[in-house]
Amino acid sequence: MNPVRILVAGIGNIFLGDDAFGVEVAQRMLGRPQPEGVRVVDFGIRGLDLAYALLDDYDTAILVDALPRGESPGTVYLMEPHIPGAAEPISAGLVDAHGMTPLRVLQMVHALGGQPKRVLVVGCEPATLGDELEGAMGLSIPVEAAVGVAISMVESLIEQERQVKEAISYGTYTA
């Protein structure tokens, strides 16, 4: 049995405060042993690189990013996004190699003919993103505290995905 192929992608800009959340999660996970078939990458602001990585037929991609949703700063949540416009042709405004949101990356993957099998987003509510002129270095206290929570969530998701693939390969999985 081939191991499940999982990409864990840390996304964010280290110069914009809490936007570095995904980068920090990836950096800490890179210092920990990972199961066979799991690839952890700090993509930072390289959205184009992430789009091409997602074309590599992973069983599951787990994107980790700071995503404002109106919750309390440091709130960690899990989403399985629906990708609007996945069937629409790629537009010139879609490609900004250093400023692509996870949604735009996923739209680009679809526009390039990719069909990720499963995409999960582990998001964290930011407290501050600084601004593009002044920036802000370092995570806020609540977002810094959420990094460990997110790592635990990602590791749990990896284990769940591995168990599902094992059960499917042995014919014991029922939905």
Token pair listed for 137: 């270095």
Kindly state whether residue 86 falls inside one of the protein's structural domains: yes
Kindly state whether residue 10 falls inside one of the protein's structural domains: yes
Kindly state whether residue 117 falls inside one of the protein's structural domains: yes
As for how many domains the chain has, the answer is 1
For 113-133, give the DSSP string: T---S-EEEEEE--S----TT
Dist CA 77 CA 154 (whole Å): 11
pLDDT of residue 127: 94
pTM as predicted: 0.85
Q: What is the pLDDT along the chain (175 residues), one digit of tens a residue?
A: 688 899 999 999 999 999 999 999 999 999 999 999 999 999 998 888 898 899 988 999 999 999 999 999 999 999 998 765 544 444 445 455 445 677 788 888 888 888 888 999 999 999 988 766 777 788 999 999 999 999 999 999 999 998 887 777 666 655 5
Dist CA 157 CA 60 (whole Å): 10
Domain that holds residue 48: 6-169
pLDDT of residue 1: 65
Q: What distances in angstroms separate CA 24 from CA 19, 44, 97, 111, 144, one per listed residue?
A: 10, 9, 20, 29, 9
Q: What is the CATH number of the domain that holds 97?
A: 3.40.50.1450
pLDDT of residue 169: 65
Nearest to 46 by CA among 88, 92, 4, 108: 108
Token pair listed for 16: 């914009």
Token pair listed for 124: 């964290």
pLDDT of residue 62: 96
Bridging pattern class, strands 119-124 and 38-44: unpaired
Kindly state whether residue 131 falls inside one of the protein's structural domains: yes
pLDDT of residue 98: 45
